[in-house]
Structures are given as C-alpha cells and as structure tokens.
C-alpha cells in the first residue's frame, strides 16, 4: 500500500464512487472528496452524499481520521449546454452515433480538470475516479486511453505530477461489489446497497435487494445484475 500520496476522490454518491472512496481510504493517509452539481436529472445523488460520507466515517476509526474535506462544485453550465437524458426529461435511447443519450459530452473531462485544479490548491497528488471500460455504455470519456491522455495533459498544463487512479477500470459490476466486500466487509456492502444512488431517473421509493432505483434504467439493470452475480458467487461452496 502507498502511504506517501494524498488523494482527491470524485464522489457522486453512487455505488462506483463510494467503492472508489473506500478503496482510497484503505490506501492513502489523507483523502478528500469532490462532487459536482451539473444540472443532473438524478439530483438525489447529491442529497445522499452527506449520509454516505457519515456512514463511511463510522465504519472505521482509521477512515474517520483519513477522510477530510468535501468540496461541492457548481458545474451547472454542463446542464445548460447539454441536451441529454441525464440533464433533461428526455427518454433514454440510442443516438445515431451509437452512443446512448445518457452520455454527457465533456463531463468527465471537465470533472477531472476541475478536480485537478482543486487538488493543486489543496496539495493533493492523486485523483481517483470510478471510470470503467468493462461494464459501461460505451462512453468515450470512461476509457483508459482517455484517462491516460488526460493525466498527461493535466500534468503538462499545470507543471504537476498528478496521478489518475481508476480502480474499477477493468472489472465488471459484480467485481465492484466484491471489491467493496474486500475493502470494507459486509458493513460497506450494506452502506452501498442502502445509502448510495445510481438510478438515472432518481427513483428512491423502493429498496430492492441491490439498492434503491427504478429497476429498469440502464444504471439499475447493471447494478442489479452485478449484485445478483455477487450474491450467487458468495453462496457457492
């Protein structure tokens, strides 16, 4: 484990970013979080963030000591210049370019740039994000090549040596549940299941076995499928 660096985690309040935050807390002596209000349709994810942070602190005295300041950034301009299913009431569908209309162009690029700026000011040298190329919808800004190129660009542009970590890049959603189990045990799995939010439509009326959500949007389907695979694997002798 590396205890020489300090991390800033892109934390939305969802399953992936919560798992990444726990992963960072198990590795780095100082961890801060950053979230973005970009006019997302599922603003409920912003409302659950404080609860998730509180519960993560309660899981471990070490995590409580390591988890520092949370930064909430207004990036509502993304919602103003985007016309996507995540920033409007449009029905989720595929576009002519082969990408779902849940893709918000430039979102992760801007997130990382703003996070790098905050990290520069705070003296943090690791950025942690939940981008994944295994279970994803084809978003080009979630790819490993994109993150590697962005790391080079940020360091050239700011004369820094920031490192971008993406612990979920090559694992599927079932393995993401397993990673949570390994890092924080069943207590962390329960926090993710009960407190985090992933549903694109912002539904939190029903607690399913895998968490809250509408159950039929792409985010819910992926989360539910991964959870079932995780539970089935745990039940095997």
Token duo for residue 229: 């695979």
Lowest-confidence segment of 79-93, 109-123, 146-160 by average pLDDT? 79-93
Our count of domains for the chain comes to: 1
pTM of the model: 0.91
Tell me whether residue 226 is in a domain: no
User: Band of the pLDDT at 1, cuts 50, 70, 90?
Assistant: very low
Tell me whether residue 229 is in a domain: no
CATH number for the domain spanning 54: value is 3.40.50.620
Tell me whether residue 177 is in a domain: no
Phi, psi angles (nearest 5°) of residue 50: -60, -40
Element (H, E) at 126: strand 126-128
pLDDT digit string (tens) for 3-32? Answer: 458 999 999 999 999 999 999 999 999 999
Specify the pLDDT at position 89: 60
Tell me whether residue 205 is in a domain: no
Token duo for residue 197: 């939010």
- What is the pLDDT averaged over residues 129-148? 86
- For 133, the domain range is 7-171
The answer to whether residue 2 scores a pLDDT higher than 50 is no
Q: Where are the alpha helices (DSSP H) in the chain?
A: 15-25, 44-59, 61-66, 77-81, 107-122, 144-158, 173-195, 218-235
């Amino acid at each position: 484990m590396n205890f020489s660096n300090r991390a800033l985690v892109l934390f939305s309040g969802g399953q992936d970013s919560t798992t990444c935050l726990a992963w960072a807390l198990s590795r780095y002596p100082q961890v801060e979080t950053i979230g973005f209000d970009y006019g997302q349709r599922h603003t409920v994810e912003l409302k659950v963030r404080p609860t998730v942070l509180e519960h993560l602190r309660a899981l471990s005295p070490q995590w409580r000591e390591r988890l520092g300041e949370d930064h909430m950034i207004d990036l509502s301009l993304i919602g103003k210049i985007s016309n996507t299913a995540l920033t409007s009431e449009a029905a989720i569908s595929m576009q002519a370019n082969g990408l779902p209309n849940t893709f918000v162009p430039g979102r992760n690029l801007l997130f990382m740039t703003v996070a790098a700026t905050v990290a520069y000011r705070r003296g943090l040298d690791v950025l942690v994000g939940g981008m994944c190329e295994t279970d994803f919808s084809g978003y080009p800004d979630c790819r490993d090549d994109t993150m590697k190129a962005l790391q080079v660009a940020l360091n050239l542009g700011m004369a820094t040596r920031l490192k971008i970590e993406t612990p979920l890049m090559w694992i599927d959603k079932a393995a993401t549940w397993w990673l949570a189990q390994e890092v924080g045990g069943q207590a962390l799995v329960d926090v993710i299941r009960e407190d985090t939010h992933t549903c694109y439509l912002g539904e939190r009326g029903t607690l399913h076995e895998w968490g809250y959500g509408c159950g039929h949007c792409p985010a819910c389907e992926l989360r539910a499928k991964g959870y079932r695979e995780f539970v089935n694997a745990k039940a095997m002798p």
